[in-house]
Structure 1
Amino acid sequence: MEYYIYDIPVFVMSTPEEGVNIPLFCQEAEETIPRSLLQNIEVVYIGEFKELKGRNATYAHGAVYMNSHEPSNFDMLENFIHEAAHSLEIDHGMFIYDEDLIEEFRGKRARLYYLLKAENYHINPILYSYVEYNKKFDNFLANEVGYPTLLSITMGLFVSPYGATSVQEYFANGFEKYFLDNPRTVRDISPILYRKIEGIINDDKA
């Protein structure tokens, strides 16, 4: 069936979980994020897709692909807002990923190194300096440390543990929390990231 988020078509290609109400999800998306921040999203697909490569959602070539097996509307909304953030990299990438944001991220990664070292979690220290996605570092955080442990260790350092994965996920994770949690939390934990989000919002209002 076909639904809409604003004028963006949402195609449901396979049956979602019982806890997901697609019309309500579309309504909640419209209530959460302004249309002006979705200018690079042409279509949303909900189902099972090779493009996901095991992920919950991804943005590619103007489309958001979302796994239909998410358990709740809020999970769906988190995924959509997260991918909306990635879609903004097309127009705002130079503004987002300047030296200020990269240095803020690197500073947090450096702090993370010492926090994990104190807990006897070890990996090649040079990986902490890689701001782009690195599969080995991602596996280390997700599988060796584990996100529950990472959550307790990084409280107040990242708005959520997944933000430590790469500078791109740092931005998208903060963007997600800005709209779905509390902008003040993002401001207090990641002030430069907060200013980037505010700058994009104000630019799109102009």
Structure 2
Amino acid sequence: MKYTNKKGSATFLMVLLVMVLLTVSIGFNWLVKEYIKSAQAFQKKAESMLKVRSAYDTLIYLMLNGKFTQKEIILPQIEELPQIESIPLNGIEVPFLEDLIIKVQDSNGLLSVTTINTVALKRLLTYFEVDPQNADTFIDSLLDWIDQDDLTRLNGAEREWYSFQGLKYEPRNYPIQYKEELKLIKEMNSELYSKIEP
């Protein structure tokens, strides 16, 4: 009769089982921590969105009940609402609620980046001493940026131009969402952007 050491194999199986259980429990622990982090981030985002929405509604209420002048909005003094005397209409920042800052800009005289008036835009660029050829290139590139096709205008730029330049982005082919997006378009540079930015 052959003798086998069953005690040694049982110890080995026990160690293997403990290692598997330990690995599973560490993985489960990590997964739970990630879910908790995600839940906390979601909670923080939701609270921030509610805070901003509340501030926006409060601001609209104060503005609608305020008095508009050429340079500012004189706000009513209402108990339990922010005690701000006025809000200038020239884009100057004003502290509002806790860590929120607001600024209001009169839109008269501003050019829209969503509905582009090419004549007015060219006049603005020429006013800031942009070469007319560069102005045409920027305007065509801007129109290429927002149109939904891949056809390049005479002086414009589509996907091929941006990839040839080694850039990691391509035209949105959709209306501009943020004014800073203009910095990404062909012929726009930081100096010109700082001049035309409201």
- Tell me the TM-score range normalised by the shorter chain: under 0.3
The TM-score, its normalising length taken from structure 1, stands at: 0.23
The TM-score, its normalising length taken from structure 2, stands at: 0.23
Q: Which has the higher contact order (CA 8 A, sep 6+)?
A: 1
Greater gyration radius: 2
Higher helix share: 1
Higher strand share: 1
